[in-house]
Amino acid sequence: NAGVTQTPKFQVLKTGQSMTLQCAQDMNHNSMYWYRQDPGMGLRLIYYSASEGTTDKGEVPNGYNVSRLNKREFSLRLESAAPSQTSVYFCASSEGYGGGNTIYFGEGSWLTVV
């Protein structure tokens, strides 16, 4: 019953440091997503991956990179963290083909950049 698992749950970074958020899903889903959630702004799409080997930019991709390592895993990297990247990050997955598929979320990663 794992669903979507993301690590770490909490992280504090200094400005300029780098880190990678890891995400894995065990539902055999084709598509995976990274969102960030900020107060008053809902969820904004950072990057998504339609299938293994493909990635595309979402609404707010600047300052981030992603890797779709295989069908299960989709990582998000901050190369040089900035205070503006302080946020809650959610990984998600969906079936991908056809419309009307529920998107399932991980538990979230709370990132603070000081």
Partner 1 sequence: ELKVEQNPLFLSMQEGKNYTIYCNYSTTSDRLYWYRQDPGKSLESLFVLLSNGAVKQEGRLMASLDTKARLSTLHITAAVHDPSATYFCAVDLPTSGTYKYIFGTGTRLKVLA
Give the binding range for partner 1 (CB under 8 A) out of 19-27, 35-43, 61-69, 77-85: 35-43
Q: Does 48 bind partner 1 (CB under 8 A)?
A: yes
Picking from 19, 38, 31, the residue whose alpha carbon sits closest to that of residue 86 is 38
The binder of partner 1 chosen from 7, 52, 58, 61 (CB under 8 A): 58
Residues that bind partner 1 (CB under 8 A): 30-31, 33, 35, 40-45, 48, 50-51, 54, 56, 58-59, 90, 92, 94, 96-97, 99-108
